[in-house]
Amino acid sequence: MTETETHGLSATRSGQASSKQRVAKLAFWSIIIGAGVMGLKFVAWWLTGSVALYSDALESIVNVVAAMAAFWAIKISHKPADMGHQHGHHKAEYFSAVLEGVLIVVAALLILFEVWRSWGVPMDAERPWLGLGINGIAAVINAIWAGALIRVGRAERSPAMVADGHHIMTDVVTSAGVLIGLVAAVVTGWKILDPALAVIVALNILWQGWHVISSSMDGLMDRAVELDEHMRIRDIISANSKGAIEVHDLKTRIAGRATFIEFHLVVDADMTVGESHVICDRIEDALRDDIPSVRVIIHVEPDDEAKLPKGTVAVPFA
């Protein structure tokens, strides 16, 4: 390996380590911010006695527990491969996301139970505006933080962080709806709006829980990369395969932050092992430069023995 190649590999590993630290740091702060927002929401509920604000506060407990689960899963997913897990621990984040989905569903059911238990009990209107104002501040904090989690989670390919961000953003939408409805209830005196809003909140949370669970299960089932990324991978292989004849049976799968790529590379039957190895190294280096946390497996075939699987389309290199 040349000095330039060694420097490039070191830079790649350094960048990946920095990326992991960034994700872990955000996951830790998500617990702290979630706990602070939870406190604000329970104060708002205590000031108003609103069952809708209670449901909003109850969901914030789920946010904190989910943030703790995400932090744990992210720490595990960053552990290096070992003898028992030779491909790494990348899928740990999906288990966290599934747990978060289950907790969301539980929170929704608890909210519906509270609505049933307190139906007909009027909201304490003695200090409604202070409580609503505090809840509004909590919603703004959540909106800013959710946007940051989703943005960084997508950039760093972190399923747990993206799921946490979407969950919090749903909480923001819910809080906004609750605040608007409760302002209307205070102004008009229609107290029925309070429990009615709580039911809407619960149904919205149920839907979000199902979405988080289903998307996480998709990841556990070795989902392939999106079509546009598949085409980009194919283009990278094609651009760095000088000396090869064609590639076929290109397959991909995503496991948390890692992308696994495998394919068959057809070369001239008279090519030496060393020459084909140089081509493989060139392709692998190009893929690593473009895709973070990529794992590449290349099966080299001589052209006189290459067999395309049924239904496979080869990509020739002109």
Both 32 and 162 in one domain: the answer is yes
Q: Tokens 């052209």 — which residue?
A: 303
φ, ψ (nearest 5 deg) of residue 192: -65, -20
HSE (CB half, 13 Å, CA atoms) of 179?
A: 21
Both 62 and 149 in one domain: the answer is yes
Cβ-based neighbour number of residue 116 at 10 Å: 10
Both 216 and 235 in one domain: the answer is no
CB 115 within 8 A of CB 51: yes
Both 109 and 132 in one domain: the answer is yes
Both 26 and 166 in one domain: the answer is yes
Pairing of strands 258-267, 246-255: antiparallel
pLDDT of residue 55: 75
Our measurement of the distance from residue 201's CA atom to the centroid of its chain's CA atoms, rounded to an integer in Å, reads 23
Both 73 and 22 in one domain: the answer is yes
Q: How far apart are CA 114 and CA 91, in angstroms?
A: 36
Q: How far apart are CA 216 and CA 198, in angstroms?
A: 27
Both 176 and 274 in one domain: the answer is no
CATH of the domain at 232: 3.30.70.1350
Per-residue tens of pLDDT for the chain, all 318 residues = 444 444 444 444 444 556 667 777 888 888 999 999 999 999 988 888 777 787 778 778 878 887 887 788 777 777 777 777 767 677 777 777 787 778 778 877 877 777 777 666 555 555 678 888 888 999 999 999 999 988 888 877 777 778 778 778 877 877 887 787 778 777 877 777 767 777 877 787 788 778 778 877 777 777 888 899 999 999 999 999 899 998 888 999 887 778 899 999 999 999 999 999 999 999 999 999 988 778 999 999 998 876 665 555 555 554
Both 193 and 268 in one domain: the answer is no
What does the DSSP 8-state code read for residue 124? -
Burial-class residue 115 by CB neighbours within 10 Å (0-12, 13-18, 19+): buried
CATH of the domain at 34: 1.20.1510.10
Both 80 and 179 in one domain: the answer is yes
Both 200 and 276 in one domain: the answer is no
pLDDT of residue 292: 75
* Domain count within the chain: 2
**Inter-CA distances, 264 with 70, 124, 174, 226, 305, Å:** 37, 69, 50, 20, 12
Domain assignment of residue 145, given as a range? 3-220
**Inter-CA distances, 168 with 5, 295, 311, Å:** 42, 32, 43
Both 43 and 157 in one domain: the answer is yes
Instruction: Judge if pTM exceeds 0.85.
Output: no
Both 268 and 214 in one domain: the answer is no
Last residue of a domain, one of 220, 243, 262: 220
Last residue of a domain, one of 220, 254, 274: 220
Last residue of a domain, one of 220, 252, 280: 220
